[in-house]
Amino acid sequence: MTVKTAMTDLRGGPLGPAGDGPGARPAGADRPRLAPGVRLRWDGRDGEYVLLSPERGLRLNETAALVLALCDGVRTVDQILRELAARFPGEPEGRVAREAFDLLADLASRGLVRTEAPQ
């Protein structure tokens, strides 16, 4: 079984394109954290993690939820990617890191993950 991050809209509709502005692309030294008003919640009814934010909810699979759980504002992006790679030693070289980075970039461009210093 391959590890894969996955994210879908809570209501089953299309996720919509992510934004594509400056500041959306995380750098290795950034310390990502969930944006204010965004939290991860376990949905016992469907047995999935949900990322709740103003006006929307995203279903995450376990790998995607793990990536976000590591976004504590202390670890850097590089550290998070290294930790993930270490947790899935059976995966092809670089694959988990690549997927996790894409997920972070996507969530950052949606404003759900912040990479700049807290105000």
Partner 1 sequence: MRGPRPYTLIAELTYRCPLRCPYCSNPTEPAPGDELSAGEWGRVFAEAEALGVMQVHLTGGEPLVRRDLEALVRAARGRDLYTSLVTSGLPLTRERARALAAAGLEHVQLSVQDVDEPRAARVAGRPAHEAKLRAAAWVKEAGLPLTLNAVLHRENIDRAAEFVALAERLGADRLELANAQYHGWALRNRAALLPSAAQLDAARRVAAEAKARLAGRLEIVFVTPDYHAGRPKACMGGWAQSFLHLTPTGVALPCHAANSIAGLRFPSVREAPLAAIWHDDPSFRRFRGHDWMPEPCRSCPGRHADFGGCRCQAFQLTGDASAADPACELAPAHHLVVAARAEASAPGPARRYLHRSLPRAAPPPTEEGVSKRLRRAAPD
DSSP 48-89: EEEEEETTEEEEE-HHHHHHHHT-BSSS-HHHHHHHHHHH-T
Q: Which residues partner with 39 through β-bridges?
A: 52
Q: Are 43 and 49 in contact (CB under 8 A)?
A: yes
Could you say whether residue 7 binds partner 1 (CB under 8 A)?
no
- As given in the structure block, the two tokens for residue 16 are 């919509």
One residue of 43, 62, 72, 102 binding partner 1 per CB under 8 A? 43
Min dist. Cβ of residue 21 to partner 1 (A): 3
Could you say whether residue 28 binds partner 1 (CB under 8 A)?
no
Span near partner 1 by CB under 8 A; candidates 45-53, 64-72, 80-88, 89-97? 45-53
One residue of 64, 65, 71, 108 binding partner 1 per CB under 8 A? 108
Rg of the chain taking only CA atoms, in angstroms: 14
Residues making contact with partner 1 (CB under 8 A): 10-11, 13, 18-24, 35-37, 39, 41, 43, 45, 50, 52-55, 57, 108-111, 114-115, 119
